[in-house]
Amino acid sequence: KRLSMELFIEAIPTWSLGYLINSDATGLTDEEINLIDNWYKENKVTDISIVTDREGEWFPYFSHYPAFGLPAEVVDCHIMLSQ
């Protein structure tokens, strides 16, 4: 059986990036870690990377509708999901 993957762009809260990309939970509460872990598992996320321009810059902005959590500063990220 072949594994199917889909690629999306999601608005990911900047406060969660250290944990999602580097597994660094410094400064996060247990509730925030659970929120991130649940989103990751429920969506079957297999990979996440920040959308950057040619120079490697990324551009945070405020969103009322981040991928998870309350309205926050976010950055667009490529999200790979297994189906």
Task: Give the residue ranges of the chain where pLDDT is below 70.
Answer: 1-3
Q: How much of the chain is helix, strand and coil, in % rounded to 5?
A: 25, 35, 40
Mapped onto helix, strand or coil, the DSSP state of residue 81 is strand
- Is residue 4 within 8 Å of 38, Cβ to Cβ? no
Q: What is the pLDDT of residues 2-22, one digit of tens each?
A: 667 888 999 999 999 999 999
At residue 1, the pLDDT reads: 57
At residue 83, the pLDDT reads: 75
At residue 3, the pLDDT reads: 65
Q: Phi and psi dihedrals of 21, rounded to 5?
A: -95, -40
Q: Phi and psi dihedrals of 59, rounded to 5?
A: -130, 100
At residue 5, the pLDDT reads: 80
